[in-house]
């Protein structure tokens, strides 16, 4: 007979979203059950953000020789040990694991069940020998790599983000399906670590970002040797003696056959909804994920869904933010609303590519001529000059009254600069605010001030301003 648990909150999934809810609730003395069938830490720690950024760091170190040459520094006899780069990835994961571990959360007072769970009724969840009847449930099961219906894919050995970081030898030729952030980050990393890389993108690479700034990233990757085939969809794959043959068709109708040693599928993410018994729970969902309202509640008012499984923007920081909203709603009974317009994102290639708020196109569609684009180039920034990082551009989108509507940036440390702009956007700051703060010299953050100041570039030519100045001069 199943043991009955009646916690205040039951969380399904121990990724970044679920862990954040469990830790916060436990800190307030709330009874929490946390269920995870796989690895604690979820996708972000084990297969996503952490290993990918660790590998990118190793790749940057491998590419340092080319950068150092312009500073008059050379290091002859450089070698790349791919296995040691992979060791770095493992070490970073191992260092973070204790923070996400079962032991830590049990120490916080959370009941942790390492089991598969499924609803059998709107308020009943079964996990092995346990029956959980919680006041509120939070589904945070995340997402997995989407496997597109490419003929032959089920007959070849291919990689996803869950298996890519297990490689101990650098691929001779890595073919990547998908030209989004994951595909291009891993393309640059493996190219810098010694692989030949070909990326197939059926539409436009980095399609969600500012086209002008995305083009700068693509040019940088191509200059390093990454072959990026836009408008080229993979039609089929086949196993060969030496690996895999990828057959693709370009927009002009030309058929390409590309032999590769390894194939990485990075064509998007699919929500983890299978096997949860959502139908029995009365929770509506579709292929995009569980449907939620602005307060992150599902069609069953006792059940919330957060993170990747709820569709929308699929980022760890979004999952963490939604966890905070859910805590406010469940624990403090406060009204909450998710606002995706304030969510920033960054692609961690070199150069980095960041975005927050409305895009240039969206702002002009909404505000017409009242939306202005203010730009500052890295080449005009003194710190960028000293670092030899002059490739890049910042765009601020200003609306009526000079209010910040959005921003896009490509260049060194773009992700760090987006932090400032994300705060400015959430606080409804204007160009006056951004032009008026004091930035230490020399820093890349000065790009923000320079772009904001340009909002007032025509002010000195204003006839009324000149007349006012002339009048003031008469008073001595």
Angle between helices 414-426 and 446-453 (to 10 degrees): 50
Q: What does the alpha-carbon distance between residue 12 and residue 140 come to, in Å, rounded to a whole number?
A: 6
142 is an annotated ligand-binding site residue: yes
179 is an annotated ligand-binding site residue: yes
- Residue 159 DSSP symbol: B
184 is an annotated ligand-binding site residue: yes
3-state SS assignment for residue 268: coil
Q: What does the alpha-carbon distance between residue 47 and residue 363 come to, in Å, rounded to a whole number?
A: 35
Tell me how far the alpha carbon of residue 128 is from its chain's centroid.
Answer: 34
Contact (Cβ atoms closer than 8 angstroms) between residue 174 and residue 260: yes
Q: What does the alpha-carbon distance between residue 277 and residue 275 come to, in Å, rounded to a whole number?
A: 6
Closest to 165 (Cα-Cα) out of 237, 95, 227, 91:
91
- The values of phi and psi at residue 251, to 5°, are -60, -30
Closest to 9 (Cα-Cα) out of 199, 139, 148, 127:
139
143 is an annotated ligand-binding site residue: yes
302 is an annotated ligand-binding site residue: no
231 is an annotated ligand-binding site residue: no
Q: Is 114 exposed, middle or buried (0-12, 13-18, 19+ CB in 10 A)?
A: middle
176 is an annotated ligand-binding site residue: no
394 is an annotated ligand-binding site residue: no
268 is an annotated ligand-binding site residue: yes
290 is an annotated ligand-binding site residue: no
421 is an annotated ligand-binding site residue: no
Q: Residues at the annotated binding site for FAD?
A: 53, 141-143, 308
Q: Residues at the annotated binding site?
A: 53, 141-143, 178-185, 201, 268, 308
Q: Residues at the annotated binding site for NAD(+)?
A: 178-185, 201, 268
């Amino acid at each position: 007979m199943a043991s009955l648990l009646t916690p205040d909150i039951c969380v399904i999934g121990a990724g970044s979203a679920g862990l954040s809810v469990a830790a916060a609730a436990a800190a307030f003395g709330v009874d929490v059950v946390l269920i995870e069938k796989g690895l604690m830490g979820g996708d972000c720690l084990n297969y996503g953000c952490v290993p990918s950024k660790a590998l990118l760091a190793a790749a940057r170190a491998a590419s340092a020789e080319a950068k150092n040459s312009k500073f008059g520094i050379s290091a002859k006899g450089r070698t790349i040990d791919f296995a040691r780069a992979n060791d770095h990835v493992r070490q970073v994961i191992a260092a973070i694991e204790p923070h996400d571990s079962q032991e830590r959360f049990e120490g916080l007072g959370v009941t942790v069940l390492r089991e598969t769970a499924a609803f059998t009724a709107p308020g009943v969840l079964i996990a092995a020998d346990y029956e959980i009847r919680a006041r509120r449930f939070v589904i945070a099961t995340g997402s997995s790599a989407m496997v597109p219906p490419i003929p032959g894919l089920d007959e070849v050995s291919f990689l996803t983000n869950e298996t890519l970081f297990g490689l101990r030898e650098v691929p001779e030729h890595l073919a990547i399906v998908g030209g989004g952030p994951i595909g291009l980050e891993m393309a640059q990393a493996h190219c810098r670590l010694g692989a030949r890389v070909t990326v197939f993108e059926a539409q436009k690479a980095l399609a969600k970002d500012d086209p002008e700034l995305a083009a700068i990233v693509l040019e940088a990757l191509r200059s390093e040797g990454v072959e990026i085939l836009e408008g080229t969809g993979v039609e089929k794959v086949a196993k060969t003696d030496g690996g895999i043959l990828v057959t693709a068709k370009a927009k002009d109708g030309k058929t390409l056959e590309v032999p590769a040693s390894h194939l990485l599928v990075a064509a998007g993410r699919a929500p983890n909804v299978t096997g949860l018994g959502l139908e029995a729970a009365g929770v509506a969902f579709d292929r995009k994920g569980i449907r939620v309202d602005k307060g992150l509640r599902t069609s069953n008012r006792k059940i919330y869904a957060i993170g990747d499984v709820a569709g929308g923007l699929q980022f760890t920081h979004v999952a963490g933010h939604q966890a905070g909203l859910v805590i406010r709603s469940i624990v403090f009974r406060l009204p909450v609303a998710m606002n995706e317009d304030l969510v920033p994102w960054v692609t961690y290639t070199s150069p980095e590519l960041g975005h927050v708020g409305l895009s240039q196109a969206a702002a002009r569609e909404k505000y017409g001529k009242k939306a202005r684009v203010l730009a500052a180039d890295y080449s005009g920034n003194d710190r960028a000059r000293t670092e030899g990082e002059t490739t890049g551009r910042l765009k601020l989108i200003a609306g009526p009254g000079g209010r910040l509507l959005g921003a896009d940036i490509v260049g060194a440390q773009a992700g760090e600069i987006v932090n400032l702009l994300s705060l400015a956007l959430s606080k409804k700051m204007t160009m006056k605010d951004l032009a008026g703060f004091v930035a230490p010299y020399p820093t890349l953050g000065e790009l923000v001030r320079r772009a904001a100041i340009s909002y007032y570039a025509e002010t000195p030519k204003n006839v009324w301003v000149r007349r006012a100045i002339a009048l003031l001069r008469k008073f001595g």
